[in-house]
Amino acid sequence: MTDVTGDTMTPEDRSGPGDNGSRQDLAGQPRLSVLPRGPWWTRVKTWHKILIVAFEVLIIGVIWQFLIGTLELINPIFMPTPTRIIEGFGLLFGSGEKSVISATDQAIWVHIRRSAFCYSSGLFIGIVVGIPVGLLIGTSRTAYRLIGRFIWWLYAVPWVALRPPATIWFGFEAAPVIFIVSFAATFPILLNTAAGPQTVDPSLLRSAQVFGAGRMEQFWKVLLPSSLPFIFVGLRQAIVISMISLQVAEIVGSSKGLGALIVLMTSHFKTGAAFAVLLSAALITIVLGQGVRYSAEKLAPWHFGHVRR
């Protein structure tokens, strides 16, 4: 009789050669808890990441200052150096000399409030319209056949070209800017949301039916949770597109807002201040995008919790 007590297989024997040490269960699927760890960036602490990013920004700033400020590859009047941009922040917020903004009798906060109001209003309208309509056409074939093509036709319309007629429709105040921002923000949210229910495995819906779940229970417990990752992806895209559309709408035909402020500063050759406005808008977009990403990891951990960056 063969003695098998001394021939117990180790995890390495089970994994076999070339398996990179990952164990497998009876179904042949790797166990996530013992998979190899991700890239080195995923194992770095948060404050280490902040230091690395700050160092990268510093290196870029030094190279930028050397090429433009020292070598003058481009005229600093047209392409400001980092030090000129820092001075531009001081000019915008009224430190030191009289600001160019004083010539228009409008403080910087007037422009900030206008842009914040238009941006938040347009993005809010895009969310309120995009998510429900996206879930509707994503879960109903009838709704998709009725309005799906119409939505794609609207998505094909270049929203930049709507700025002049929007002035005729809504006047010269904040309304046309809000219209442009909401139009641009709606479709990334809507189309990404609509893609969510269509990716649900039909076997999950059949299983829910077997356990007695009705259509509404299937929606709340299967379709909507499966759509959350797509909704958050659409939100992150909409945050960026909304900021771009805001700047375009304010640059063309608006007397207030950050876009109008960029036009004002460049017309007085204050390119440092103009770039300060651009960097401020980019920073706001990055912060909002990271906020949505954090919310996604908390509300949809089954998806974003395994996507390590």
Sorting pLDDT into bands at 50, 70 and 90, what band is 35? very low
One-letter amino acid of 271: T
Smallest CA-to-CA distance from 249 within 174, 307, 190, 157 is with 174
Quick one: pLDDT at residue 39? 61
Instruction: Tell whether the model's pLDDT for residue 5 goes beyond 70.
Output: no
Percent of the chain at pLDDT above 90? 39
| pLDDT per residue as tens digits for the range 212-242 | 778 888 888 888 888 899 999 999 999 999 9
Tens-place pLDDT, residues 234-263: 999 999 999 999 999 999 888 889 998 899
**pLDDT exceeds cutoff 90 at 121:** yes
**Helix, strand or coil, per DSSP, at residue 30:** strand
Contacts of 223 (CB under 8 A, 6+ apart): 135, 138, 139, 196, 197, 200
Strand partners, 30: 24
CATH 1.10.3720.10 describes domain 78-304: yes
Output the pTM of the full model.
Answer: 0.77
CA dihedral of 78, 84, 87, 91, whole degrees rounded to 10: 0
Count the Cβ atoms, other than its own, within 10 Å of residue 266: 16
pLDDT at 41: 59
Q: Is the pLDDT of residue 69 over 80?
A: yes
- Average pLDDT in the 155-166 region? 91
Furthest CA-CA distance within the chain: 101
Predicted pLDDT of residue 2: 44
User: What's the chain's average pLDDT?
Assistant: 81
pLDDT for 308 equals 52
DSSP collapsed to 3 states, 114-129: HHHHHHHHHHHHHHHH
Environment class of 13 (CB within 10 Å of its CB; exposed 0-12, middle 13-18, buried 19+)? exposed
Q: Which residue has the higher pLDDT, 306 or 173?
A: 173
Q: What pairs with residue 24 in β-bridges? A: 30
Model confidence at 26, pLDDT cuts 50, 70, 90, reads very low
pLDDT band at 44 (very low <50, low <70, confident <90, very high): low
Q: What beta strand segments (E) does the chain contain? A: none
Q: Answer yes or no: is pLDDT of 303 > 80.
A: no
CB distance 210 to 287 below 8 Å:
no
The domain limits of the chain are 39-73, 78-304
**Overall average pLDDT of the 126-143 stretch:** 93
CA dist., res. 118 & res. 240, Å (int): 14
Record the tokens describing residue 43, joined without a space. 């194992």
